């Protein structure tokens, strides 16, 4: 598999007057879990459909595993797995028959199908219930079954469109763990769309943020956090004054300092230690009761990007 699993250049898709995907230029390295983040209607699902060759782009182009989505869509679908939203299970068939059908589609031998189905369902704790009709299962179990279906033929690239959407927190956490374990074990590239930022932070080696079809940012979650500003320290106490603020602002590691509701708020330029600054405040006559230091979360980054877009 090439080092770049997905490469798109100015990929655009219009539906009438609506631009669902706007000039998307993106590179997804092979072998990682790549998070594609965005609010509802941002163009995440349309992007997956374009990458799978299910939709034709209005302009621009994309290559998946080195294959052109316009001219080699069949080859792309041959080598990838997909869990789309909704999962699209055959609810009148048993869980085992669902997987058996897709195993046949990917031309796994009868023995190979059975072994693989057992392996995946055992790993996902569903083996004992394989004969049950899929339509009678809970949403969480169905999602797990759909994940197994996407991985059945050992694809080198898997598209997962909001795999934990609609699940309760327990089921979502369990599925996340299963996904991480499976991705690591199978060594696949995972293109994961979600608007669950905790999920993205825990699972993804790289994330891209899309808003109204437009790419807003891309990088490792830590890089994105760093871009949105360094950590912030808050010092609660009394005796704080303007002189103290001037003293803090003069320090090279401090980006900004302000007094807010009796608390000193200090924006740091990087991963600096806070103890010298606390000493400075105490030395200048301030009384310190509580010190806290926080980093911008991916959620903060995401919300900032959404605000910037507006």
Partner 1 sequence: MTDVWTVIWKEWKEILFQRGSLRTGTIGLLITLGVFGIFLPLQMGRAWVESPMVLFYWLWVPLFLVSSMVADSFAGERERHTLEALLATRLSDRAILFGKIGAALGYGWGVTLASLLLGLATVNLVYGRGELLLYPANVGWGILGLSLLGAGLVADAGVLISLRASSVRQAQQTLSLAIMLLLFVPVFGAQALPTAWRKRLAEALMAADVTQFVLIAVTVMIVLNAGLLATAISRFKRARLID
Binding site for partner 1 (CB under 8 A): 49, 52-56, 73-74, 77-78, 82, 84, 86-93, 97, 101-102, 104-107, 133, 135-136, 149
Q: Where are the alpha helices (DSSP H) in the chain?
A: 44-51, 73-79, 95-105, 110-123, 139-151, 169-186, 197-203, 221-227, 242-249, 275-283, 298-309
Q: In terms of Cα–Cα distance, which of 181, 90, 193, 76 is closest to 134?
A: 90
CB-wise, 103 or 230, nearer to partner 1?
103
- In the complex, what is the shortest distance from the CB of residue 218 to partner 1, in angstroms, rounded to a whole number? 25
Taking alpha carbons only, the member of 58, 52, 98, 60 closest to residue 191 is 52
- Pick between residue 28 and residue 264 the one whose CB is nearest to partner 1: 28
Nearer to partner 1, 104 or 185 (CB): 104
* Order of all β-strands in the sheet with 254-260: 254-260, 263-268, 232-238, 287-294
Question: Smallest gap, in angstroms, from Cβ of residue 83 to partner 1?
Answer: 8
Between residues 167 and 235, which has the closer beta carbon with respect to partner 1? 167
Least Å distance, CB 290 to partner 1, is: 52
What is the closest distance, in whole angstroms, from the C-beta atom of residue 151 to partner 1 in the complex? 14
CB 70 within 8 A of CB 13: no
Task: List the structure tokens of 247.
Answer: 């003293």
Least distance in Å: CB of 164 to partner 1?
18
Which CB atom, from 153 or from 225, has the smaller least distance to partner 1?
153
Which DSSP letter does residue 297 get? P
């Amino acid at each position: 598999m090439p080092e770049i699993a997905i490469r798109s250049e100015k990929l655009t898709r219009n539906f009438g007057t609506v631009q669902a995907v706007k000039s998307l230029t993106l590179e997804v390295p092979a072998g990682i879990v790549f998070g594609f983040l965005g609010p509802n209607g941002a163009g995440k699902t349309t992007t997956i459909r374009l990458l799978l060759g299910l939709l034709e782009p209005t302009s621009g182009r994309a290559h998946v595993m080195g294959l052109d989505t316009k001219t080699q869509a069949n080859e792309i679908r041959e080598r990838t797995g997909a869990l789309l939203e909704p999962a699209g299970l055959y609810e009148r068939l048993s869980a085992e028959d669902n997987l058996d059908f897709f195993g046949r589609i990917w031309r796994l031998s009868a023995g190979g199908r059975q072994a693989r189905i057992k392996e995946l369902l055992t790993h996902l704790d569903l083996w004992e219930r394989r004969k049950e009709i899929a339509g009678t299962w809970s949403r969480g179990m169905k999602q797990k079954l759909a994940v197994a279906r996407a991985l059945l033929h050992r694809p080198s690239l898997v598209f997962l469109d909001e795999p934990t959407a609609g699940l309760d927190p327990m089921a979502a956490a369990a599925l996340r763990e299963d996904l991480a374990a499976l991705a690591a074990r199978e060594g696949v590239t995972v293109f994961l769309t979600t608007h669950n930022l905790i999920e993205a932070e825990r699972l993804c080696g790289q994330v891209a943020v899309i808003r109204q079809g437009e790419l807003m940012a891309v990088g490792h979650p830590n890089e994105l956090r760093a871009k949105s500003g360094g950590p912030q320290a808050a010092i609660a106490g009394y005796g704080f004054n303007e002189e103290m603020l001037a003293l803090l602002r003069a320090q090279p590691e401090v980006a900004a300092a302000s007094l807010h509701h009796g608390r000193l708020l200090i924006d740091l330029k990087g991963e600096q230690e806070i103890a010298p600054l606390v000493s400075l405040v105490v030395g200048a006559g301030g009384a310190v009761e509580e010190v806290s230091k926080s980093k911008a979360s991916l959620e903060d980054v995401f919300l900032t990007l959404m605000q910037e877009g507006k």
